Structure 1
């Protein structure tokens, strides 16, 4: 499918047909639609197909008077116990007469960009470079918005993870780490594209474009730094959690080993008195029907257990 927009008085409006100086928003296209645009707009076939590869990396390419810029933007994926993000490619094709965006799906960034463009009321599709830079700025703003949401989620998960018994919080942290890894790789690729645009070898930049490009580079590098910081936080939190789990396991093992030693004392002593050999206190006469040997043995057993308990308590094993 595709939608066509034109600019009037600095505002993007739907157009009824494809005419020069329009934006063609192509998403989840059929082969017939791509063939139609190839002939209608004289676009290189590979430029329309490259962005449909999910693994396509950010890059810029120029052939004759056509420029292809591929970016990666965040894409929400609902899986399991919480929402996770990945990134998908979006291709922007610039020609003298047309601007074409190609994506695998009708991504929300298109509506966000139109809203942003109409608020500024300065858009003119006869300036494709300005469209490109502002579209990239919208993509970077989306990254920063999602990174701030991730920052809030991290604060919540950090408090929960050290109280958690189940694995739910750990899975959440691992999902965030995976999301941040996707973001980091995609943002660095987008930043490389910006550097190539700045060189002036692919598109011609005016002074106004240079200012927008500088703002865009600052925003992109800020997003990259935020991503790296959050990755370090997640990694540090997971390492701390692993250390706490190991420490708790050691404490439990110390407690169980100490209790096993204390409990083994009665077993050892009573098993000795079950042997058919002379043993201490067995010759003492009974007292009111109760053997002195039984009383002495139990008292000695309890005394030894109490001493062991004090010893392990002092060592903080109990």
Structure 2
């Protein structure tokens, strides 16, 4: 899907197409076809590798600079389900005339920039628009991290009452999400550091023009990303310790069950042994007594009860 927008001076977005493409437009490419990439590359004179860089799920965040364009590849947080979090690469390409975004899917970060929010950004202010995209990405990391924290609290309460496989698997899913988030936030931090350095590079000042407001916004992006990293590390540590704790609880519960079953086996073995002794084909007590079965049963019960009391005092139950 390929959409082209340009901010009007009055605020709203004007939707364009490839034939009416104008300077200062935002070209948003989602799940592109090879034809769309080729057409955009020819019209904007952007390296095809720049446009294809976001099509690899495993691509890490980085910045590439060419003579007439800069590509900032960052990782965005996404939700694939109520408790399934992941990251997707987003390529943001700045040229002297356009800003281009390429992503494998339509993410909430990109969806935030629409007609309803058009007064908050301008497509022809490319550097500020770039920083606004990065800032929005950092805020979504924070939002999803808070959701993960609430879900982990909910899982912890349920695990206190019942150690079910479903809750353990939910905990594992959240740990996996935090691993993805922490890796992406670290690589995004490296991108922001490099962006801080290259903004003063004279060779790219015709593409990236940083004004005083942009400096403040860049600092806000760095602060938000740092906060998200710290939260991600903290929640990851908490979930890891929680998993270790409940693993120990499960092992302890298993030991308790095994101890109980061992005690029951010992108690049941006493009547079995006594009945075996009195079932031998030799002379035994009570063989000629009509109450012999009653006496043997009484002996077995008394000995089993005595053994049960002894085991109970030894905390075997």
User: What is the TM-score normalised by the length of structure 2?
Assistant: 0.89
1:228 equivalent in alignment to 2:258: no
- Show CA shifts across 1:264-312 (max 9, x none): 1122122112223444x448x84xx434xx5554443333222211111
Q: CA deviation at 1:193?
A: 0.2
Q: 1:76 aligns with which of 76, 79, 91?
A: 79
Select between 204-213 and 128-137 the one with higher mean Cα deviation. 204-213
- Within a 5 Å distance, the mapping from 1:228-267 to structure 2 comes to 228-267=233-272
Which of 22, 32, 35 pairs up with 1:32? Answer: 35
Matches within 5 A, 1:104-253: 104-114=104-114, 118-120=118-120, 123-164=121-162, 166-200=164-198, 201=201, 203-253=208-258
Q: Name the residue aligned to 2:311.
A: 312
Contact 1:10 1:118 in 2 (8 A): no
In the TM superposition, residue 226 of structure 1 has moved relative to its aligned partner by 1.3
Distance 2:117 2:136 in 1: 10
Q: Higher mean Cα deviation, 195-204 or 108-117?
A: 108-117
2:74 and 2:188 in contact (8 A); partners too? yes
Q: Structure 1 residue 20 and structure 2 residue 23: aligned?
A: yes
Q: 1:10 to 1:215 in 2, by over 3 A?
A: farther
Alpha-carbon distance in structure 1 between the residues aligned to 2:139 and 2:210: 22
- CA drift at 1:208: 2.1
Cα distance, 1:126 vs structure 2 = 3.6
CA distance in 1 between partners of 2:64 and 2:276 (Å): 86
Distance in structure 2 (CA, Å) of the matches to 1:278 and 1:269: 15
Paired residue for 1:64, among 61, 67, 71? 67
Alignment check: 8 A CA contact 2:5 2:123 kept = no
- Does the 8 Å contact 2:8/2:14 carry over to 1? no
Q: CA deviation at 1:12?
A: 4.9
Please tell me whether the aligned partners of residues 52 and 89 of structure 1 are also in contact (alpha carbons under 8 angstroms): yes
Aligned residue for 2:105, secondary structure, equals: coil
Q: State the distance in 2 between where 1:147 and 1:10 align.
A: 36
**Greater Cα radius of gyration, structure 1 or 2:** 1
Displacement, 1:186?
1.0
Match of 1:272 among 277, 288, 308: 277
CA shift in 2, pair 1:170/1:192, >3 Å: same
* Residue 31 (structure 1) shift: 2.3
Offset at residue 18 of structure 1 (A): 1.2
Q: Any idea what the Cα deviations from partners look like across 1:177-210, whole Å, max 9, x if unmatched?
A: 1111111111111111000001134645333222
What displacement does 1:11 show? 2.8
Cα 1:198/1:269, change in 2 over 3 Å: same
Query: How many aligned residue pairs are there?
Result: 307
